[in-house]
Amino acid sequence: MDFEKLSMTNEDYINYVQQKSKKSPIFKNLALAFLVGGLFCILGQALTDIFEYFNYEKKVASTIATIILVFLGAFLTSINVYSKLGKYAGAGSIVPITGFSNSIVATAIEYKSEGYILGLGANMFKVAGPVIVYGITSSVVIGFFYWLIKLFI
């Protein structure tokens, strides 16, 4: 629909708006995401090393570290800290496993008001669901090609 009054096309207007809109502070956001995401990774590594030091197998140690991080994400979400952290850290707190935990717990809190089955239960994976669906799908696809290549090599 063209705007007759101003003889302005939609394209003109969208370009004008894009020019006028304040952009997200990309460098600041990247730096904070790198910093916070990195800190979560360091924490995960430290936990793994500590459990390995106490003679746990590497696989077991990293599983325990993961469980602790998931708990930490859930805990920080429930005391209203993770959403504040996410405001500054962006992808830095969304991408690590703590963010996955946040997306499930936040949704669970949100939908509890519609009951435990159709509210909480049905909506818990609303935000995290796509990650699981496409994570599993892509691992199946990659696994298939891996198997295919192995047949010939």
Query: Taking the complex as a whole, how short is the minimal distance between the CB of residue 22 and other proteins, in angstroms?
Result: 4
Region from 46-54, 55-63, 91-99, 145-153 binding other proteins, contact rule CB under 8 A: 91-99
**What does the block give as tokens for 12?**
């003109």
Q: Does 82 bind other proteins (CB under 8 A)?
A: yes
Torsion region of 96: left, alpha or beta (phi above 0 gives left; psi -120 to 50 gives alpha)? beta
110 is a contact residue toward other proteins (CB under 8 A): yes
Which listed residue (10, 45, 138, 139) binds other proteins by CB under 8 A?
A: 10
The answer to whether 34 contacts other proteins (rule: CB under 8 A) is no
Which residues of this protein are in contact with other proteins, per CB under 8 A? 1, 3, 5-6, 8, 10-11, 13-14, 17, 20-24, 29, 77-78, 80, 82-90, 93-94, 99, 102-103, 105-107, 109-111, 113, 127
